[in-house]
Amino acid sequence: MAKSLVIVESPAKARTISKYLGKDFSIMASIGHVKDLPKSSLGVNPEESFTPEYQVIRGKGKILREIRKAAEKVDTVYLAPDPDREGEAIAWHIAEEIKKKNSNILRVLFHEITKKSVKDALAHPLELDQHKFESQQARRILDRLVGYQISPLLWEKVQRGLSAGRVQSVAVKLVVDKEKDIRAFEPEEYWTLEAEYLGSQKPSFTAKLNKIDGKKARVQNGEEANIIVNTLNNGEHLLSNITRKERRRHPVPPFITSKLQQEASRRLRFSPKRTMMLAQQLYEGIEIGEEGPVGLITYMRTDSIRISDTAMEELRDHIGKVYGESFLPSKPNMYKNKKGSQDAHEAIRPTSIEYTPEKMKQYLDKDQFKLYQLIWNRFVAAQMVSALFDATSFDVTCDKYLMRATGQVMRFPGFLKVYEEQKDDTTSSKKDRKDTLLPDLTEGEIVKMLELEHKQNFTQPPARFTEAMLVKELEEKGIGRPSTYASILSTIQDKNYVQKTDGRLKPSELGEIVTQLLLENFPHIMNAEFTAGMEEQLDEVEEGKTGWMKLLETFYGPFSESLENAKENMRNIKREEIPTGISCPKCKDNELVIKWGRNGSFLGCGAYPDCNFTSEYVRDDKGEVKVVEEQVTDEKCEKCGGDMVIKKGRFGKFLACSNYPDCRNTKPVKIGVKCPEEGCEGDIIEKRTRKGKLFFGCDNYPKCRFAAWDKPVAVECPICSYGLMVEKSKGSGSQTLRCPSCGTTQEKIEDEPANK
């Protein structure tokens, strides 16, 4: 019989740990949290010291009974959920459930799931951390107070099913604010001038206008550009200054959670949610042949860049052996943690230098391998020498104008041999990123201008956030914590407050309306500095510097006042009617007004219900409202014989009877492709998941279950003769066609004719 019980939160982790421990240990999994606040009520009483009313989560009663039964039969219970606040809360709630059966309860922290780490943790157990638990509890109560008391207001004033969140609403506001900046942006004209020169030695080189009269060049219109062009075309060009410098590019530290999410988004196109799911798998254990399950990375929720002495020693030995001593710095590279970071965990790194990506590739799926390789490369590169470049610049002067050419050549790759961090919104072309070698010229010589190009440009509006950029913004502003970024980005998109288009985040109309209402009624909640301050106070609770109830009392007083005010004064969007000045095209006698419905805003006759005219609308460049004419199709309504028109709803386009509301018949939109399944005569239609994600399926569902995420086109596969192929986008923006049946790919030809 086992003498000790180890409780973790995941079955995968349990399987991995069981391999390392003998028959004296029994391993069980709680499968996440076992208790939480009730779903059907607030579950917190502000009048009674914010006492939380925890309930056993539905479906976890059986698990708890089995844990209690197992705890009764052993000498010691080791609680080993994840080493963070959420893990501490799981441990605390399990302890409350089993302490009557067995009071010999200890806490162990597994920072990596390896044999050595697991045995070391069990050899040095800890007491449960009350401060860490209270910090998690305070966060949970804060989020419940905000979410469960503001959300009903939004149901009443906007539409049912909406939610507000202490952190998620601030994240939506960041996206909304960015959109406001884009709309307010007014482009400014500017001109660039670029000349090609040839000196006493080949090759020629290119220089750009850099300064005018010693000041940074600003050419704002074509007239100014033409004056400069005239001077440069008729003047002498002197190579007035040559600067040669040695430049070093330093490596970056190993990953913390936020940086991993950002880089995986930029480089691998993974959402933060997917990145964390894959990282969790790598942490909890991967089957490595005869070795069985092995944890490949350290704990993935961390904001510390610390590396253990043992890991550092193994890494430096690896670099020296594999890459050579010239790639190894004389002493370890040291990095500073950012202010306020928690140093309980190490940075995200491989658990063993022996598990190289090449060795592990056969055991990992495609995405697991990509993420593991990214973590591995960054970890190794962080302890390599800097890259070395020879940088040269030429200054060519003509009259009061200075043209500058720059070039650099890599002399030693250093850490770049392994890894190079990607940046957001880079506009450099591949050509610009290559080494550029300037010719061997002499300062003071006259150079010949071969060609001069002047070009009109306009300043560009700020770029919308990518998921990586929004994570970075949240991190820099101190909003949320590394462990929450993935869920924040997932939630604001699932709730349709933010939509991702071409990889960029844009607020929906719903997101903008809710943000404005919250700003008007809960300015403190929507203030980024206030939200960041709450995170700092939660850290102080964990550190034992302040009490959790004091934090809640300080927050709840002003919040409850705002709540009561909002109940009386929040605008009712459902009832608002905004005049447009446009006459109703149906009754001619009344004005169209903008109304809000469950699918968003629309135009309706102000005389409703006497006149039931409705329409979509758009705004022109001046913000003026324009009626969208109904797009009539050739299809007839099978119920009343009316014309079927294309409408746009919450989940995209659909066909509706033009006799609405007398006839409410609707249909999905066909895309002009027949179902490829044998014996099926159905048509492929656009469909949406419950979360609004577009996919394509057969209209004979459920009899036919054909479905595809990528858009089908009516092109027969040239290899297996399957009835259609699907569009696949490439990083360059071009598209290919892929056969869902045999996997054959071919370049897409624009305006490809449909099969006859």
Q: Is the pLDDT of residue 433 over 70?
A: no
Mean pLDDT of 179-191: 94
pLDDT at 339: 67
Give residue-wise pLDDT tens across range 483-516.
Answer: 899 999 999 998 899 998 888 999 999 999 999 9
pLDDT classification of 755: cutoffs 50, 70, 90: very low
Q: Would you place residue 745 in the very low, low, confident or very high pLDDT band (cuts 50, 70, 90)?
A: confident
Q: Residue 299 catalytic?
A: yes
What average pLDDT does this structure show over 523-544?
A: 94
Give the strand pairing for 4-8 and 76-79.
Answer: parallel
pLDDT tens digit sequence for 103-139: 999 999 999 999 999 999 999 999 999 999 999 999 9
- Residue pLDDT, tens place only, 560-592: 999 999 999 999 999 999 999 999 998 988 999
**Average pLDDT value over all residues in the chain:** 91
Q: Which residues of 610-645 are buried (b: 16+ CB within 10 A; e: fewer)?
A: ebebbbbeeeeeeeebebeeeeeeeeebeeeebebb
- Distance CA(144)–CA(121), nearest Å, equals 34
Average pLDDT (10-20) is 93
Q: Kindly give the pairing relationship between strand 35-36 and strand 504-507.
A: unpaired
The residue ranges of every structural domain in the chain are 4-128, 138-184+464-569, 189-250+387-458, 259-381, 578-667, 673-747
pLDDT for residue 649:
65
Checking 687-693 for CB contacts under 8 A at 24+ apart, the result is 688/651, 688/652, 691/494, 692/496, 692/650, 692/651
* Phi, psi (deg, nearest 5) at residue 690: -60, -25
**Three-class SS string for 312-350?**
HHHHHHHHHHHCCHHHCCCCCCCCCCCCCCCCCCCCECE
Instruction: Point out the catalytic residue in the list 197, 299, 401, 485.
Output: 299
- The set of residues, in sequence order, having a beta carbon less than 8 Å from that of 660 and lying 6+ positions away, is 612, 614
* pLDDT tens, residue by residue, 386-423: 999 999 999 999 999 999 999 999 999 999 999 988 87
Distance from chain centroid for Cα 701: 33
Kindly indicate the confidence band of residue 157, based on its pLDDT and cuts at 50, 70 and 90. very high
Lowest mean pLDDT among 382-386, 478-482, 528-532: 478-482
Note the helical H segments in 247-324. 257-268, 272-284, 309-322
Q: How confident is the model at residue 658 (pLDDT cuts 50, 70, 90)?
A: confident
Average pLDDT rounded to a whole number, residues 457-473: 94
pLDDT (tens digit, 9 = 90+) per residue, 249-301?
A: 999 999 999 999 999 999 999 999 999 999 999 999 999 988 889 999 999 99
pLDDT for the residue numbered 650: 60
pLDDT at 268: 94
Q: How many CA atoms lie within 13 A of 640 on its CB side?
A: 14
Predicted confidence (pLDDT) at residue 519 exceeds the cutoff of 80: yes
Q: What is the pLDDT of residue 562?
A: 96
Is domain 259-381 in CATH 1.10.645.10, yes or no? no
Share of residues in the chain with pLDDT > 70 (%)? 94
CATH class of the domain comprising 138-184+464-569: mainly alpha
Residue 432 has pLDDT above 50, yes or no: no
What's the CA gap between 310 and 591, in Å, rounded? Answer: 76
Phi, psi of 60 (to 5 degrees): -95, -5
Q: At what angle do helices 130-157 and 548-569 cross, to 10 degrees?
A: 0
Q: What is the pLDDT of residue 1?
A: 62
Rounded CA-CA distance 405/403 in Å is 7
Calculate mean pLDDT across residues 684-702: 83
Which CATH number applies to 4-128? 3.40.50.140
pTM check: above 0.85: no
Band of pLDDT at residue 652, cut at 50, 70 and 90: low
Interatomic CA distance for residues 208 and 396, integer angstroms: 9
CATH for 189-250+387-458? 2.70.20.10
Phi, psi of 293, deg, nearest 5:
-70, 135
pLDDT at 676: 92
pLDDT tens for each residue of 586-606: 898 899 999 988 778 899 999
Position 49 scores a pLDDT of 93
Q: Which letter does DSSP use for residue 642 in this model?
A: P
In the three-class reduction of DSSP (H, G, I as helix; E, B as strand; rest coil), residue 414 is classed as: helix
Q: Model confidence at 343, in pLDDT bands (50, 70, 90)?
A: low
Query: Does position 641 have pLDDT exceeding 50, yes or no?
Result: yes
Using the Cα atoms of residue 470, residue 475, residue 481 and residue 482 in order, give the sign of their dihedral: positive
Q: How far is CA 723 from CA 208, 671, 704, in A?
A: 54, 15, 15
